[in-house]
Structure 1
């Protein structure tokens, strides 16, 4: 069975991580994978090629480069894939057209809720969804919104939760060296909050910084670490200065490995405006961290309020501050984190995710 994954970019991000894990953890010699992408952000290309995967860039200048369309159609026609697996909005719309022309079976994965797409991209997505043979949502929350929109066929939608290698990551976190972290920062006797993600509007790191203003007044030992990088980095740094939090907030940008920071942290905090099923939360659970997260689809599929952390209203920074203070003062933080770790092992492991995708592949191409 020849399967091609078509995705917008090969950046270090959640959907790209899922593509890599599907390929890396498929234990089936009858499945051959290729990967193609627009040609924007190449971070994971080398990782895929080390697995022996043929990776094709369509040399786009941006995700809006229409010259990609004939290139994709030509590529699919030449390779005659049995199945095309589409990820993210731009690749889905173009891939559906090209896949239909090449007479391939099509499976599309929705890594976030469709209402958050740009209106033009959302319209293109709706106009081409008929081409899917199977539509996958990465969480119950994503599926619910898709069904409620009355655009997507409930009969075609299946939820396959994102998964990562929880136990392996847990071992790596526990054994990670703290030397470089300690050289950079002094966290002796600090209570560390961690957020990992791109510095973009969707992730709302500015709101977390503003919440820290209140937190440090009550708990001066509180410290926030923001790992990621992105277009809002300078704005975040300005916000830290304006809030006089230079001693309590560290903006680190891209780091070589997140594992030492997951080991260092006491609690993970996310205040995203929307999510699909965030890999960063699964990574935090792998480290046994309790999680404070906005109560939005995806986050509330992962965090069990009062059990593995706290869910908070998306538009109330004061409650975010309160919960951050609560968890510093709580005797239950460690227990919450361990509950989350055990839940993640059962529900969000990579082996389960890959097995479900491979089952769908076989069913769609008639290779039971």
Structure 2
């Protein structure tokens, strides 16, 4: 590809996750002179590899021994040389370490993006990531909070950071959600199983995320129990996957709201649930920059969120939804109860869509990364050191 840029994204795995879907959207909007490929370090049972290949993206397994196999450095270096890769773009701490070392031995520019706060990463991995960070041509984070957390984790942190928000195809997602029930947002919707909502003042809430302690869905269930006291017809869909699935069903039963809560398990097609919902709600304790919030705003749903680090980057409190303290079940319930008014839901939802379209469309994300790639290659060609960000 003469005169173009060859970018290889280094991922943990090709599962159905936020980063992978972000890259699928970026590929669709990539300019013709930017060629993307994928190297992953961990194979999962659920894979998006066919989706990438359908878009003409080459996919390689860079570590047959598993994601923490040090031989991944050599495998990735061989891939870089074979495919004449210009930029390695790594998306999680261990993958950043591998990409930086492979970049060092092949003289390839490395861009690192931090997608979360690092709370679930092993301390040794975080230390290795920090120790190799100066090998980056550019270091990015998906939110100001993520940048501050990683840059400030050790004394002597540098300020060479870019903040590039994740994005989705905002108009496209809205149209896809609308097509599921064929009606405009704000009107009575159908439930995913084909039933009809009974009362527009009894809202349907949606939460999409893994069933793990960090999502704190039990706080959400307690808040929902309070909402149901005032709006008996309210319903909550917990869409996700994880080890706590049975525990969440049991908790809903103990709270007496089993009929008001659907713990759906994994769903490959979430648009039906966005179409059925009146509002999106999250009780997370820690997040980086959740794509599900952007999806909710694109679907014209108000967002009720706990005040984890990245929430303020996405939700405009009082304008597109409400932000409440973490672990405050009463405040979460109060915010949810405010959304029993259909007019207020519609107003917040419209404002959320406008904010998402302006700030979080994937076309903007792709353009910002494309500019970073070009800057890194320009610096490499001139021999100049990376410019402080």
TM-score (norm 1): 0.92
Cα distance between partner residues in 2 of 1:89 and 1:216: 42
Give the aligned partner of residue 281 of structure 2. Answer: 269
Match of 1:68 among 59, 67, 72: 72
Cα distance between partner residues in 1 of 2:206 and 2:109: 41
The residue correspondences of 1:195-344 to structure 2 (distance < 5 A) are 195-329=207-341, 331-344=343-356
Q: How far did 1:342 drift? A: 0.6
Give the aligned partner of residue 120 of structure 1. Answer: 124
Equivalenced residues, count: 366
Cα distance between partner residues in 1 of 2:95 and 2:140: 15
SS of the counterpart of 1:224?
A: strand
Match of 1:153 among 158, 164, 173: 158
Q: How far did 1:330 drift? A: 7.1
Q: How far did 1:327 drift? A: 1.9
| Mapped pair 1:52 → 2:68 | no
Instruction: Give 5+ residue unaligned stretches, structure 1.
Output: none
Deviates more, 1:53-62 or 1:178-187: 178-187
Cα distance between partner residues in 2 of 1:181 and 1:266: 11
- 1:180–1:289 Cα change, 3 Å: closer
Q: Is the 8 A contact 2:63 2:71 kept in 1?
A: no
Give the aligned partner of residue 32 of structure 1. Answer: 35
Cα distance between partner residues in 2 of 1:300 and 1:107: 25
- 1:96–1:182 Cα change, 3 Å: closer
SS of the counterpart of 1:161?
A: coil
Q: Is the 8 A contact 2:204 2:235 kept in 1?
A: yes
Q: How far did 1:98 drift? A: 1.5
Give the aligned partner of residue 183 of structure 1. Answer: 193
Cα distance between partner residues in 2 of 1:44 and 1:191: 33
Cα distance between partner residues in 2 of 1:255 and 1:337: 24
Spell out, residue by residue over 1:170-193, the C-alpha distance to the aligned partner (whole angstroms, 9 max, x if none): 111111148995536554324200
Cα distance between partner residues in 2 of 1:185 and 1:198: 26
Q: How far did 1:62 drift? A: 4.3
Cα distance between partner residues in 1 of 2:20 and 2:326: 26
Q: Is the 8 A contact 1:126 1:151 kept in 2?
A: no
Cα distance between partner residues in 2 of 1:284 and 1:151: 38
| Mapped pair 1:2 → 2:17 | no
Q: How far did 1:275 drift? A: 1.5
Cα distance between partner residues in 2 of 1:111 and 1:119: 17
Q: Is the 8 A contact 2:151 2:158 kept in 1?
A: yes
Q: How far did 1:212 drift? A: 1.4
Q: How far did 1:144 drift? A: 2.8
Deviates more, 1:1-10 or 1:109-118: 109-118
Give the aligned partner of residue 169 of structure 2. Answer: 165
Spell out, residue by residue over 1:148-186, the C-alpha distance to the aligned partner (whole angstroms, 9 max, x if none): 3355421x2111111111111111111114899553655
Instruction: Give 5+ residue unaligned stretches, structure 2.
Output: 183-188, 382-389
Deviates more, 1:186-195 or 1:55-64: 55-64
Deviates more, 1:145-154 or 1:223-232: 145-154
Cα distance between partner residues in 2 of 1:53 and 1:280: 24
Give the aligned partner of residue 186 of structure 2. Answer: none
- 1:203–1:235 Cα change, 3 Å: same
TM-score (norm 2): 0.88
